[in-house]
């Protein structure tokens, strides 16, 4: 079982990640505004299933890696810090696009909504990098089963993602209207997420060297 500090730290990281604009957020928001809340929630369910697939692959992969190549464990932690810095830059870079600048999508049935949500997440390479590079930072091989710790952390990330994306799906229309008249809030959101992610990256890099 991961320590409480690790659980809280990973939960904050997962929150920052889900609030950072990406393909999943853009798709859920666009679908919700175009077709309604129910369509957005069905899309969120498809996104969540892809997360389950990735966490199972990562959990078993990291477990095998720790057993076979101990030094690779620290290498993944350093990679995780670099990945967070890249995400921070993506959030604040000039001409960054707000996810609430939606793309109009055709009206689809529940099955296709679910499948498209699943594929949008499954084909997003950032998810694989997220799990493989960041999970090791919050796992202590001396604290018990690496596989169990990986699954617990993955479950936390999936729960946070589903909750936040569901709230966004339900409020997408209202948020989009609010931001359309107050563009400064879009900039604030991007810089806030960028700052949080950069701070976590510095902390991870410092701890990895200690």
204 pLDDT higher than 70:
no
What distance in Å separates the CA atoms of residue 170 and residue 131, rounded to the nearest whole number? 27
DSSP-derived letter for residue 93 is S
Give residue 121's pLDDT: 84
Per-residue pLDDT of 10-28, as tens digits, reads 888 888 778 776 778 878 8
Give residue 114's pLDDT: 94
Give residue 69's pLDDT: 59
Per-residue pLDDT of 142-167, as tens digits, reads 777 888 888 888 899 999 999 999 99
Q: For residue 161, what are its two tokens?
A: 């993602």
Higher pLDDT, residue 136 or 166: 166
Q: What is the CA radius of gyration of the chain?
A: 18
Query: What's the mean pLDDT when you consider all of the chain?
Result: 76
Per-residue pLDDT of 170-195, as tens digits, reads 888 777 666 666 667 667 766 776 77
Per-residue pLDDT of 74-129, as tens digits, reads 666 666 667 667 767 776 776 655 555 555 667 788 899 999 889 888 877 667 76
pLDDT band at 53 (very low <50, low <70, confident <90, very high): confident
pLDDT band at 66 (very low <50, low <70, confident <90, very high): low
Give residue 163's pLDDT: 95
* Nearest alpha-carbon partner for 18 in 32, 28, 8, 31: 28
Evaluate the CA torsion angle 43, 44, 45, 47 in order and state its sign: positive
> pTM of the entire structure?
0.70
Domain positions in the chain? 4-209
């Amino acid at each position: 079982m991961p320590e409480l500090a690790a659980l809280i730290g990973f939960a904050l990281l997962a929150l920052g990640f889900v609030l950072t604009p990406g393909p999943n957020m853009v798709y859920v928001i666009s679908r919700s505004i175009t077709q309604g809340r129910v369509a957005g929630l069905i899309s969120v369910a498809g996104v969540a299933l892809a997360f389950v697939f990735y966490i199972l692959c990562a959990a078993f992969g990291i477990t095998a890696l720790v057993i076979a190549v101990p030094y690779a464990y620290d290498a993944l932690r350093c990679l995780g810090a670099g990945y967070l810095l890249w995400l921070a830059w993506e959030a604040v870079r000039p001409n960054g696009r707000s996810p609430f600048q939606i793309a109009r999508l055709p009206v689809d049935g529940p099955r296709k909504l679910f499948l498209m949500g699943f594929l949008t997440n499954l084909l997003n390479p950032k998810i694989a990098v997220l799990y493989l590079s960041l999970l090791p930072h919050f796992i202590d091989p001396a604290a018990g089963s690496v596989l169990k710790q990986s699954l617990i952390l993955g479950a936390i990330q999936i729960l946070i993602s589903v909750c936040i994306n569901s709230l966004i799906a339900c409020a997408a229309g209202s948020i989009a209207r609010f931001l359309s008249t107050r563009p400064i809030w879009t900039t604030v959101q991007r810089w806030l997420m960028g700052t949080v992610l950069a701070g976590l990256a510095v902390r991870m890099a410092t701890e990895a060297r200690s």
